[in-house]
Amino acid sequence: MSDFVPREYKNIPITVRIHERKLNIINANVAKLSISRNDFINQCIDYALENMKLEDYDRSNKNDK
């Protein structure tokens, strides 16, 4: 029997609620790309964070698409 060596998780599990329409789009894309939903969402978040321009953000123009 090998020794158990505890390690830190690289990812932290969270819960996110999204609109059904967005989930349908995500599911369609992961099926086409043959990647996990988790990997796809993480890549989308990475892209958004790297390309976000907060100086252009207008609180009065916030909407949920």
Region for residue 17 given its phi and psi (left: phi exceeds 0; alpha: psi -120 to 50; beta: otherwise): beta
Could you read off the pLDDT of 2-46 as tens digits, one per residue? 687 767 768 888 999 999 999 999 999 999 999 999 999 999 999
pLDDT number for residue 37: 95
CA distance to 12, 41, 53, 56, 58, per residue, from 15 (Å) = 10, 13, 26, 28, 27
Confidence class for position 64, pLDDT limits 50, 70, 90:
low
